[in-house]
Amino acid sequence: MNIELLIFVFIYLLGTLAIGAWAGTKVKNTADFAVAGHSLPLYMVITTSFATWFGAETVMGIPAKFVEGGLQSVVEDPFGASMCLVLVGLFFAIRLYRMKLLTIGDFFRKRYGVPVEILCSVMIILSYLGWVAAQVTALGLVFTILSGGAIAHSTGMIIGTVLVLIYVMMGGMLAVAWTDFIQMIVLVLGLSYIAWYSAELVGGASTVFDYAGKRDWFKILPPPTVKDWAFFLAAAITMMLGSIPQQDVFQRVMSAKDERSAKYGAVIGGLCYLVFAFVPMFIVVAALIKMPEHSKELLANDPQKVLPTMILDHMPFFAQILFFGALVSAIKSCSSATLLAPSTSFVENILRHIKPNMRDKELLLAMRITILIFTCLVLTYAIFTLGTPIYDLVSNAYQITLAGAFVPLAAGLYWKRATTQGAVFSIFAGVSTWALVTFSDSLPFPGVAGLHETYPPQLVALSFAILGMIFGSYAPQWIANRCHILMDHIGLRPVAPSHHSDLEHSH
**Lowest mean pLDDT segment, chosen from 84-88, 178-182, 221-225:** 178-182
SS3 359: coil
For residue 55, what is the DSSP state?
A: S
**265 Cα distance to chain centroid:** 17
Distance of alpha carbon 501 from alpha carbon 495, whole angstroms:
13
pLDDT digits (tens, 9 = 90+) for 58-89: 887 888 889 888 999 999 989 999 999 999 99
Beta bridge partners of 426: none
Predicted pLDDT of residue 273? 92
| Side-chain half-sphere exposure of 392, counting CA atoms within 13 A | 7
Flag whether pLDDT at 384 surpasses 60.
yes
Phi-psi label, residue 107: left if phi above 0, alpha if psi -120 to 50, beta otherwise: alpha
* Contact (Cβ atoms closer than 8 angstroms) between residue 397 and residue 127: yes
Flag whether pLDDT at 494 surpasses 60.
no
Predicted pLDDT of residue 356? 87
Query: What is the average per-residue pLDDT within 185-214?
Result: 91
**The residue type at 107:** F
Q: Which of 411, 399, 413 is nearest to 467 (CA)?
A: 411
Distance of alpha carbon 198 from alpha carbon 63, whole angstroms:
15
* Contact (Cβ atoms closer than 8 angstroms) between residue 77 and residue 281: no
Beta bridge partners of 40: 256
Q: DSSP labels for 432-458? A: HHHHHHHTGGG--STT-TTHHHHS-HH
Dihedral angle of Cα 448, 452, 457, 463, to the nearest 10 degrees: -60
Beta bridge partners of 345: none
Q: Which of 138, 286, 264 is nearest to 198 (CA)?
A: 286
Q: Which of 309, 306, 310 is nearest to 296 (CA)?
A: 306
Residues 6+ away with beta carbon under 8 Å from 127? 246, 397, 398, 400, 401
Q: Which of 233, 170, 173, 190 is nearest to 459 (CA)?
A: 233
Distance of alpha carbon 103 from alpha carbon 203, whole angstroms:
50
More confident residue, 152 or 301: 152
**Lowest mean pLDDT segment, chosen from 14-28, 198-212, 229-243, 406-420:** 14-28
More confident residue, 26 or 373: 373
Q: DSSP labels for 142-202? A: HHHHHTTTSS-HHHHHHHHHHHHHHHHHHHHHHHHHHHHHHHHHHHHHHHHHHHHHHHHHH
Average pLDDT over all residues of the chain: 84
Number of Cβ within a 10 Å radius of residue 275: 10
Distance of alpha carbon 374 from alpha carbon 206, whole angstroms:
46
Distance of alpha carbon 343 from alpha carbon 355, whole angstroms:
16
**The residue type at 303:** P
* Contact (Cβ atoms closer than 8 angstroms) between residue 180 and residue 55: no
Q: How far is CA 92 from CA 39, 98, 244, in A?
A: 19, 10, 9
Phi and psi torsions of 455, nearest 5°: -125, 130
Share of the chain above pLDDT 70, in %: 90
SS3 415: coil
Is the CA virtual torsion 281, 79, 172, 125 positive or negative? negative
For residue 54, what is the DSSP state?
A: -
Predicted pLDDT of residue 496? 47
Phi and psi torsions of 26, nearest 5°: -90, -10
State pTM to two decimals.
Answer: 0.84
Q: How far is CA 330 from CA 21, 59, 65, 157, in A?
A: 20, 8, 18, 15
| Side-chain half-sphere exposure of 204, counting CA atoms within 13 A | 3
Predicted pLDDT of residue 83? 95
Predicted pLDDT of residue 20? 67
pLDDT digits (tens, 9 = 90+) for 28-57: 777 777 666 678 899 989 988 887 778 777
Distance of alpha carbon 66 from alpha carbon 205, whole angstroms:
17
* Contact (Cβ atoms closer than 8 angstroms) between residue 330 and residue 164: no
Beta bridge partners of 256: 40
Flag whether pLDDT at 349 surpasses 50.
yes
Q: For Cα atoms 23, 25, 30, give the angle at the middle one, nearest 5 degrees.
A: 80
